[in-house]
């Protein structure tokens, strides 16, 4: 399991970082084109929206892995270790159940976009490609959250596998 985790550990973060770099570069270039050359890039808004969708959804998996998601756990940390572990497992199971539900619903939506063949106005990108970032990120969030929970609470070995 560790080998799999280390191999794909930063896949979502790398995707989000590459797309963020592309978004920053493109936005800078679009500003230059518009204000210095008076040649606006008409498809730029669609591209920027596509980039933002990818950054948000793929960055979420990295957020779960890093523990930077919103959590109010100071009450749980006051409890005995066994109770803290039990509550953490319950929260994990609820979170995974919600992510599975979101995966199913977003997959249905992506399938609907595929069947209706909807495309963006200017770039003609099929919407199912854009929206497929959501179910993919649900899977990555589940994997990241599972691995972090496993190494932090089920089998802690202090080797930094969850970092």
Per-residue pLDDT in tens (0 to 9) along the chain, 163 residues: 566 666 667 788 888 899 999 999 999 999 999 888 988 888 888 899 889 999 988 888 777 777 666 666 667 777 787 887 888 888 889 989 999 999 999 999 999 999 999 988 888 889 899 889 899 989 888 888 888 788 777 676 655 444 4
Q: Which of 23, 105, 7, 18 is nearest to 59 (CA)?
A: 18
Question: Is residue 160 a part of any domain in this protein?
Answer: no
Partners of 119 in the β-ladder: 126
What's the domain range around 64? 2-154
Helical ranges in 36-132 per DSSP H: 44-66, 74-78, 81-116, 127-131
User: Is pTM, for the whole model, over 0.95?
Assistant: no
* Pairwise CA distance, residues 154 & 141, whole Å: 18
For the chain, the domain total comes to: 1
Question: Is residue 47 a part of any domain in this protein?
Answer: yes
Question: Is residue 163 a part of any domain in this protein?
Answer: no
User: For the chain, what's the residue count?
Assistant: 163
């Amino acid at each position: 399991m560790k080998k799999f985790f280390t191999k794909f550990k930063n896949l979502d973060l790398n995707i989000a970082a590459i797309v963020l770099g592309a978004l920053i570069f493109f936005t800078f270039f679009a500003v230059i084109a518009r204000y210095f050359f008076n040649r606006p890039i008409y498809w730029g808004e669609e591209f920027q929206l596509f980039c933002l969708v990818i950054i948000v959804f793929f960055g979420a998996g990295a957020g779960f892995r890093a523990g930077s998601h919103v959590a109010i756990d100071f009450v749980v940390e006051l409890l005995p270790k066994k109770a803290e572990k039990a509550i953490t497992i319950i929260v994990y199971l609820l979170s995974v159940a919600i992510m599975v539900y979101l995966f199913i619903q977003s997959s249905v939506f992506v399938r609907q976009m595929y069947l209706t063949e909807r495309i963006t106005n200017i770039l003609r990108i099929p919407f199912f490609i854009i929206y497929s970032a959501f179910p993919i990120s649900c899977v990555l969030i589940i994997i990241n959250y599972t691995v972090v929970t496993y190494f932090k609470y089920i089998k802690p070995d202090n080797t930094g596998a969850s970092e």
